[in-house]
Structure 1
Amino acid sequence: MFAPIHHVSLLTRFAKDNHFFYTTILGLRFVKKTVNQDNHKMLHYYYGDYAGTPGSVITFFVVPSLAQRYDKADFLSTIGLKIPKGSLLFWEKRLTDAKIKFTKKQNSLHFKDKDQVSLHLVEVEQEPLAKELQVNNSIPGDKQILGLLSTEFHVADPKKTADFFYRLIGWNSNRGKIQLNETDYIQLLSTATPDKTRMGRGSMDHVALSVQDEQKLDELYVKAKEQRWNIEKIVHRGYFKSLYIREPGGIRVEFATLTPGFTLDEPLSSLGEHLALPPFLEDKRSEIEANIYKEI
């Protein structure tokens, strides 16, 4: 069974610090360095397990001039990550050695990156990563991050957001929590301000949910149109095909297919080592490379 949360996408100002934190500290693989397909000046970083498996992926749009964010009426927040049972002490020591402040709560550790993205590592009853998905780094294979666990929707009316997920996908909400499988979940939380959210450093642009294949995605698109949800677009990103919808609170939700995957434009053994462009952008490489924002 595939992971229900396909990936999460955020904004970062600090490309080098971002890369260091998610690869050197958290031990994820840098699986793709490409561009934002809606703004080719903007780099798009992808991190995940060795193969960039859906359900393991965190992505960042790199914007060097990005200002402070203001989370107000509607926003996404928090990246929950799963770690194997018995690995919490290892991660506690690792964060301590890296001088990263954290709070320990039962079976979880809570901390932030330089962009003030809230993260937590949570022990779950799940086998360690398969060997072919383990990243070759200083973290033992049986302690490596398993994948995405959760995220939070902060909206004015959580009941409307819950109704969106129930009508479109059939997911039930219990006291604001949508349990996706034995471990993974989405939390719906109420905000109490009319002030508009301002995107900035560490903002989460969207959460992507997994859809088995293009046929299922097209069926979901038809259903969303029939139910008259706020559809932004359906588009093929190369690595997956995506449907973007604004749920009633205004938050962007992406539905993404499991394939073709990140080996579309570079071999598995060298993912993330060079600027990768899906085939439909390759003929624009010279122009794209000349205008990309500088990494800081």
Structure 2
Amino acid sequence: MFPSIHHVSLLTRFAEENLLFYTDILGLRLVKKTVNQENHHMLHYYYGDYAGTPGSVITFFVVPSLAQRYDNHHFLSTIALKIPKDSLNFWKQHLTSMNVPFMEEHRTLHFVDKDQVAIHLVEVEQGPLKKERQVKNSIPGNKQILGLLSTDFHVATPEKTADFFHQLLGLKSQDDHIQLNDTDFIRLLPTFTNKKTRMGRGSMDHIAFSVKDEQTLEMLHEKAKNQGWNIEQIIHRGYFKSLYIREPGGNRVEFATLTPGFTIDEPLNNLGEKLALPAFLEQDRAEIERNIYKEK
């Protein structure tokens, strides 16, 4: 069974610090270095397991001039990640050795990245990653991060967001908690201010949920139209096809197909080593490379 959460996408100011944190500290692999398809000046980094398997992927848009974020009326927050059974002590020692302060609570380690993104490492009952998904780095294969576990929707009226997930996906909310599968979930948390949210360093742009294939995505698109949800666009990103919807609370939700995947334009062994562009952008490579935002 494929994972419910496909990926999460956030904003960062500093490419180099972000790369060091998610590869050296969290032990993920940079599986794709590309650009934001809505703004080609902006680098887009994808991190994940060795193959960039859906369910393991965290992405960042790199915006060097990015200001402080203000999480107010509605926003997404928290990257909770699954780590294998009996790996918690290793991660405590590793974070300590990398000078990352953390708090421990109920088999969970809480800490933040350089952009103040809240990260939770949660020890689950699962065994380690399959060998073909293990990244070749200093993190022992049997301790490496398994994938995404959960994230939080902060909205003014959680019941409206719950109704969105119930009507469109048939998922029921219990105590503002929506269980996606045996382990993965999202939380719906109320906000209590009318102040506008301002995206900035560490903001989560969207969460993407997995859809089996393009046919299933098209059916979901039709269902969303018939139900009257706020559809932004349906578009092929090259590595997957996506449907974007604003849920009633105002947060962006994406539904993304499992294929074709990141090896469509790079060999598996060389993922992330150079700037990759989907086929429909390749003809503009020279101009894109010339105009990418320079890190400040």
Q: Normalization by structure 2: what TM-score?
A: 0.99
**Could you tell me how far apart the structure 2 residues matched to 1:57 and 1:169 are?**
22
SS of alignment partner, residue 22 of structure 1: helix
- Corresponding residue number in structure 2 for 1:248: 248
Deviation per residue, 1:177-201 (Å, 9 max, x gap): 0011111100000000000100000
Q: Report matched runs for 1:231-242 at 5 Å.
A: 231-242=231-242
- Corresponding residue number in structure 2 for 1:228: 228
**Could you tell me how far apart the structure 1 residues matched to 2:295 and 2:86 are?**
37
Structure 1 segments, 4+ long, off by >2 Å, are none
1:124 aligned partner, one-letter code: V
Q: Report matched runs for 1:1-296 at 5 Å.
A: 1-296=1-296
Figure out how many residues of one structure are paired with residues of the other and give that number. Answer: 296
Structure 2, unpaired ranges of 5+:
none
SS of alignment partner, residue 186 of structure 1: strand
Deviation per residue, 1:146-182 (Å, 9 max, x gap): 0000000000000000000000000111100001111
2:151 aligned partner, one-letter code: T
**Could you tell me how far apart the structure 1 residues matched to 2:235 and 2:47 are?**
22
SS of alignment partner, residue 198 of structure 2: coil
**Could you tell me how far apart the structure 1 residues matched to 2:268 and 2:295 are?**
24
Give % identity.
73
Q: Tell me the CA shift for residue 106 of structure 1.
A: 1.6
Structure 1, unpaired ranges of 5+:
none
RMSD of aligned Cα (Å): 0.5
Q: Tell me the CA shift for residue 236 of structure 1.
A: 0.1
2:196 aligned partner, one-letter code: K
1:11 aligned partner, one-letter code: L
Deviation per residue, 1:243-289 (Å, 9 max, x gap): 00000011000000000000111110000000000101000000100
**Could you tell me how far apart the structure 2 residues matched to 1:287 and 1:139 are?**
38
